[in-house]
Chain A
Amino acid sequence: MGIYIAKRLLYMIPTLFGMSLISFVIIQLPPGDFLTSLVSAIADSGQGLDRASIDRLTALYGLDQPFYVQYWNWISGIVFRGDFGWSFDWGQPVSRLLWDRMGITLLVSGLSLILIWLIAIPIGIYSAVRRYSAGDYIFTFIGFIGLAIPTFILALGLMYVSFTYFGLNVGGLFSPEYEGARWSIAKFWDLLAHLWIPVVVVAISSTAALIRVMRANLADELGKPYVTTARAKGLSEFTLIMRYPVRIALNPFVSTIGWVLPALISGVTITAIVLNLPMAGPLLLRALVSQDMYLAGAFILIMSVLTLIGMLISDILLALLDPRIRYQ
């Protein structure tokens, strides 16, 4: 098992390198570098910046260096010192803005994942056992609708419905009275009352795909001889299905975390923008619009790395559940 994990970690290194490279390209992509925008911002505020100071700043940030040197400066700062660069828009180090927002983004993604499983596993089992029944068709249809609505439209729709019919304003994470308050049980409940909306919105779009995976996995197992044997021995249908085929069908299901996670993080990002939640999404959009590229690049990098770690966890879980994987 140790060897498997070590190998898996080694495999992550080129992927991590590729991700950091793409993030850095995004940072470099807008025409002109941040110094140009800084200089124009200072010029706008009425003060001039002389040639010498511009040159000094250029040298300080290594902007006159070739691409790979700049990349090295950036990535070595992150890896060795946890320094993600400077946010010009906020006038703070990026790392100070990053973690709070990422934490809550991760919380919502995690809760969505749990919700998806809670919905998809039972429905998948039902659909596989009662294939082509009315219930199966209804769930498939609802699932497809969930698949077809872009997450942000779902968020907007939910916002509209809860406002017009229930008089609730669902934007934000806290009610105004708890906004600056200290943490307490009441504040926690208030958080939960707001948090369920993004969690549900994000979960809906990925549930359909997982129902189909679960249904297909289980349907494959149900036709196998061991199921017939167990039935012939007189096991009740419920015990039979739950005890043997479902356990086997769950194994490949675990590996779905890998491709659900990028979709979840995507969904959370755009939902947070629509509902104006204090998460990574709105900050990323603002950073991109104002060309605050170190902040934007850091968000994209961290989101990607977290997704990769999620995939690693799902692979390790799969190897724990299914010994065949370890020995390949």
Chain B
Amino acid sequence: MEQVTLTEATLLPAAGMADAGQWKLMVWRFRRHRLAVVSLGIVVLLYLVAIFAEFLAPYGPDLTRPQYTYAPPQGISFVDHAADGALSWNPHAAGYDITVDQEAMRRTFTPNPDKIMPLGFFVRGEPYKLWGLFSADLHLIGPTKSGEVVYLLGSDRLGRDVLSRLIYGTRISMSIGLVGVVISLALGLFLGGISGFYGGIIDSLIQRLIEVVSAMPTIPLWMGLAAAIPLTWGPIEVYFTVTAIVSLLGWTSLAREVRGRFFSLRGEDFVTAARFDGVGEMRIIFRHMLPSMTSHVLAMVTLAVPAMIIAETSLSFLGIGLKPPVVSWGVLLQDAQNLRAISSAPWLLLWPALAVMVAVLSFNFLGDGLRDAADPYGD
């Protein structure tokens, strides 16, 4: 053994391309795609937000305050300008005066430059249970004076904090993408696998099925399936049904890709060799063929997530997907459904829309980078 390592070391001295393993080559390749690296960071960040939602959100998602309906977003700044031009560290949010218009029955918020709301990090606030397990009351950011309420991204028609709801919504929306893609992957691998491995009649049958599903316009089809969810179902059942619906129609492209891979791998020498060795079919598929397409499948899976996020958002927005009290980006957008709502409170549309866009774009770029890296021996 020792001798072998020694020869390898002498033959390939530089820690260069020559002796790098396949995965190492992929990592190098991936790093060249700058946008993909940045996107990976954003995706990780989004999932961290989803995991630590309770700590990051200043308030609970359902905390209503009738005296602060449609409060506009407050500007935030970290330094104080003293009269002599000196700067000092003092994070605060811009304050406002509230006047109640008795006739129109609505509040108007006028910014008041003299009023500021001091903010602090790691402040104690509303108690919560992290992951439903640990009791805590520490929040990343919040007003230092007790009794003050800060709406960094504005509030909705019930005076709930949009920032907090957005953070909690991240948990649902991002996890639907993840769970959905796992279901799609299982279906795609299974059907694409047997289609590409066996060929013949099974292949044509599955190909017809894929053709039918991918030729049907997705949104009407999703709507048709989602509308069958009984109104009496609880939030958890609805969540999983919506996820299943969304993934049921996303597996076709995965199945196609897997089938293509199987077709090209079927003729490879290592598969023929395994077959001559008397290896069983299942073992050939799982031990020899599937591992060699892992990187491609990973890229496809990443590229499938955005469609699921958009699907969930669209269905919930139409009112036939997730429903309150569940908070997802799509549910948040329901509040921005008509012109009156968005013209009086544009932040209800802006922030959830931005979250969807950032998530979708990051997954797209990340998937692009992974796809390029999946074949590190290309040009």
The residues of A with any CB-CB pair to B shorter than 8 Å are 14-15, 18-19, 22-23, 26, 29-31, 144-145, 147-153, 156-157, 159-160, 163-164, 169, 171, 259, 261-263, 265-267, 269-270, 273-274, 280, 284-285, 288-289, 291, 296-297, 299-300, 303-304, 307-308, 311
Nearest CB in chain A: distance from B126 CB, A: 31
Q: Is the CB of B220 within 8 A of A303?
A: yes
Known contacts A15-B211, A262-B216; decide if A150 and B314 are in contact (CB<8 Å).
yes
The chain B residue sitting closest to A162, CB to CB, is B339
Complexed CA–CA distance, A153 and B219 (Å): 15
The chain B residue sitting closest to A291, CB to CB, is B227
Q: Is the CB of A19 within 8 A of B220?
A: no
Q: Is the CB of A153 within 8 A of B217?
A: no
Q: Is the CB of B314 within 8 A of A18?
A: no
Q: Is the CB of A19 within 8 A of B216?
A: yes
Nearest CB in chain B: distance from A228 CB, A: 20
Q: Is the CB of B342 within 8 A of A304?
A: no
Known contacts A153-B349, A262-B214, A262-B216; decide if A148 and B320 are in contact (CB<8 Å).
no
Complexed CA–CA distance, A22 and B218 (Å): 13
Q: Assess whether B302 is interfacial by the CB under 8 Å rule.
A: no
Is the contact region of chain A dominated by helix, strand, or loop, or is it mixed?
helix
Complexed CA–CA distance, A311 and B214 (Å): 12
Pick from A145, A147, A160, A307: contact of B216, CB below 8 A.
Answer: A307
Q: Is the CB of A149 within 8 A of B220?
A: no
Pick from B220, B230, B342, B365: contact of A284, CB below 8 A.
Answer: B220
Name the A residues within 8 Å of B365 (CB-CB): 144
Complexed CA–CA distance, A30 and B230 (Å): 7
A sample of 16 more A-B contacts (CB under 8 A), given A30-B227, A148-B364, is A14-B208, A15-B208, A18-B209, A22-B221, A26-B224, A29-B228, A145-B357, A149-B357, A150-B310, A160-B342, A259-B214, A269-B219, A285-B320, A289-B227, A304-B217, A307-B216
Q: Is the CB of B220 within 8 A of A308?
A: no
The chain A residue sitting closest to B315, CB to CB, is A270
29 A-B contacts, Cβ less than 8 Å apart?
A: A15-B211, A18-B212, A19-B215, A23-B224, A26-B228, A144-B365, A145-B361, A147-B364, A148-B364, A149-B353, A150-B310, A151-B314, A153-B333, A160-B342, A163-B343, A262-B215, A263-B218, A265-B219, A266-B218, A266-B219, A266-B220, A270-B314, A284-B220, A284-B223, A288-B223, A288-B320, A289-B320, A300-B216, A308-B215
